[in-house]
Amino acid sequence: MLSRRVISQLKDIFGPPNVLTSKISMEAYAYDSSPFIHYPEAVVFADKVEQISQLMKLANREKIVVVPRGAGTSLSGGAVPVHGGIILVLNRFNRILEIDPVNEVAWVESGVTNLALQQAAASYGLMFGPDPASQKVATMGGNVAEGAGGIRGVKYGVTRDHLLGLEVVLPDGEVVMIGGLGKYVPQIDLTGIFCGSEGTLGIITKILVKLIPLPEAIRTMMAVFGSLDKAGEAVSQIIARGIVPTTLEIMDQTMIRAVDDFINVGFPREAEAVLLIEVDGYEVEVDRQVESVVSICKEQGATDIRKATDEKERQDLWLARRSGNGALGRIKPAYMVQDVTVPRHKLPDMLRFVSDISKKYGIIIAQMAHAGDGNLHPHLLYDPFQPEELERVKQASHEIFTAALEMGGSLTGEHGIGMEKLEFMTQAFTANDLDFMEQVKRALDPHLVLNRGKVLDIA
Ligand SMILES: Cc1cc2nc3c(=O)[nH]c(=O)nc-3n(C[C@H](O)[C@H](O)[C@H](O)COP(=O)(O)OP(=O)(O)OC[C@H]3O[C@@H](n4cnc5c(N)ncnc54)[C@H](O)[C@@H]3O)c2cc1C
């Protein structure tokens, strides 16, 4: 428990109403969107960079762990205070500082939501490439810290690909600017170190990102398959033939039925899999892309192809995709969602492997994947009041991690390592690799006060 002296210092820094210590408040900040629960000892709300700087100086003096938190939508336990300490809530840093349509960049504070940036950019005919399904609430700070992606990732990449600069409060309280606008910023390129560092190396307060023009034309379609394998093959073929769709998403039968039960959009319930495909670009080119995609899907045995004929039909298809997570609540009260990647040509193998694992462990796994990126999101369903079922879900997850690594993939495409995949880091990296990462962490944070217990398993 934090001493009265420390709590009083926190109140001096943030103002008494912005420091919570009651039991009920600690309950509210003990979890994020992962299954993990650990209680903090205090929660503080910052709205000035100077407060964060002072907090980190205090944390270093007192050796207290600080956990940065945006919207708490992390799926790997990134915002869970596994070592107790102080939760630093950052969503009051919510100002869009500048949209520069000439240079096609934006400066935002880290608590701005992804959607707020998209909306502000759209009024200039621009967009921010990454569009995570959590975009209504997830913050830009969280997006940078997790290296977030989204359904447009096949064509537009992930947060890392759009990041130009950052203002960061380092673990010792120093405030630095890194990166910036221009073809070449004459300094060591450090922005990449913070992107995907999951709040373990610094607290991001301002972000400079690239924006890109909104496409002139968009075409959206759904291809229906009688076999999951065939749908996976179609994905490989589309990419192999040089087409770069904006989105290329796969959903299996469990997911299709759950979504259809939930929002009744007339999804093909008997299909083994559907591909949701979107292409964008200039008006003159998109229909040719559609023709190529349709012919590849037919070659691979698609039984039906439905093209969205207007914006409403297009929005219905994406509503169906975005409803996937919520729809599963009708089957079981909880799920563990995995995030492994595999090389694209291994996608059919991995989809099949996950189906087999579902049978082996007697659990329901609904499959959804950013197929074009080889990034799978198997949702392993369970009842939290059945510990034995949760145990089977964990074992099944472990087999999925191992298989992804054996296929030349990775533990995570966009949800991070957090607490969830810590123990698999030794499987994914050599001792030398891990040692190097630890040296970087210790150089910036020698007392391990910033989000200890995430990404690297160091005491
Ligand atoms: C329904 C649902 C759908 C999702 N869909 C996607 C998706 O399509 N693509 C995707 O990539 N992810 C997705 N996610 C995961 C999650 O939304 C992202 O990881 C998101 O980037 C987290 O943002 P956040 O503001 O909620 O961060 P939090 O959950 O609060 O924190 C996440 C991590 O970032 C750190 N952090 C947060 N803010 C800062 C900061 N300012 N400085 C330093 N560190 C910080 C935290 O310490 C923690 O380690 C989804 C989650 C849910 C619940």
Confidence of residue 15 (pLDDT cuts 50, 70, 90): very high
Q: Is the pLDDT of residue 292 over 90?
A: yes
- Residues 330, 289, single domain; the answer is yes
Crossing angle of helices 387-406 and 347-361, rounded to 10°: 150
Percent of the chain residues topping a pLDDT of 70: 100
Output the domain CATH number for residue 134: 3.30.465.10
Decide if 448 is inside a domain. no
CB proximity list for 251: less than 8 A, separation 6 or greater = 259, 273, 274, 276, 321, 324, 367, 368
The verdict on the CB of residue 203 being under 6 Å from ligand 1 is yes
Decide if 451 is inside a domain. no
For the CA of 370, the closest atom of ligand 1 is 8
- Residues 156, 222, single domain; the answer is no
The pLDDT assigned to 359 comes to 97
Domains of the chain: total: 3
Q: Is the pLDDT of residue 183 over 80?
A: no
Global pTM?
A: 0.95
Q: Determine the distance separating the centroid of ligand 1 and the alpha carbon of 74, expressed in angstroms.
A: 4
Alpha helices in 29-163 (DSSP H): 49-62, 114-122, 140-146, 153-156
For residue 220, the SS3 value is strand
Average the pLDDT over 49-71 and give the result: 98
Crossing angle of helices 253-263 and 311-322, rounded to 10°: 120
Decide if 109 is inside a domain. yes
Percent of the chain residues topping a pLDDT of 90: 91
Output the domain CATH number for residue 71: 3.30.43.10
The verdict on the CB of residue 144 being under 6 Å from ligand 1 is no
The two three-digit tokens of residue 96, written as one number = 């869009």
The pLDDT assigned to 188 comes to 84
Enclosing H/E stretch for 250: strand 247-252
The pLDDT assigned to 134 comes to 93
Are 259 and 323 in contact by the 8 Å Cβ rule? The answer is: yes
Q: pLDDT tens digit string along 185-196?
A: 777 889 999 999
Q: Determine the distance separating the centroid of ligand 1 and the alpha carbon of 223, expressed in angstroms.
A: 31
The verdict on the CB of residue 273 being under 6 Å from ligand 1 is no
Q: Is the pLDDT of residue 18 over 90?
A: yes
The pLDDT assigned to 278 comes to 96
Give the residue from 363, 382, 407 where a domain finishes. Answer: 407
Q: What residue's CA is closest to ligand 1, atom 11? A: 148
Output the domain CATH number for residue 364: 3.40.462.10
- Residues 167, 247, single domain; the answer is no
Q: pLDDT tens digit string along 338-389?
A: 999 999 889 999 999 999 999 999 999 999 999 999 999 999 999 999 999 9
For the CA of 415, the closest atom of ligand 1 is 19
Average the pLDDT over 429-458 and give the result: 97
The verdict on the CB of residue 90 being under 6 Å from ligand 1 is yes
Decide if 434 is inside a domain. no
Boundaries of domain holding 15: 4-89
Enclosing H/E stretch for 391: helix 387-406
For the CA of 143, the closest atom of ligand 1 is 21
- Residues 259, 323, single domain; the answer is yes
For the CA of 135, the closest atom of ligand 1 is 17
Decide if 416 is inside a domain. no
The verdict on the CB of residue 114 being under 6 Å from ligand 1 is no
For the CA of 140, the closest atom of ligand 1 is 25
Give the residue from 89, 114, 135 where a domain finishes. Answer: 89
The verdict on the CB of residue 268 being under 6 Å from ligand 1 is no
- Residues 61, 198, single domain; the answer is no
The two three-digit tokens of residue 381, written as one number = 């369903």
The pLDDT assigned to 266 comes to 87
What letters, b where the CB count within 10 A reaches 16 and e where it falls short, cover 402-433? ebbbebebbbbbbbbbbbbbbebbeebeeeee
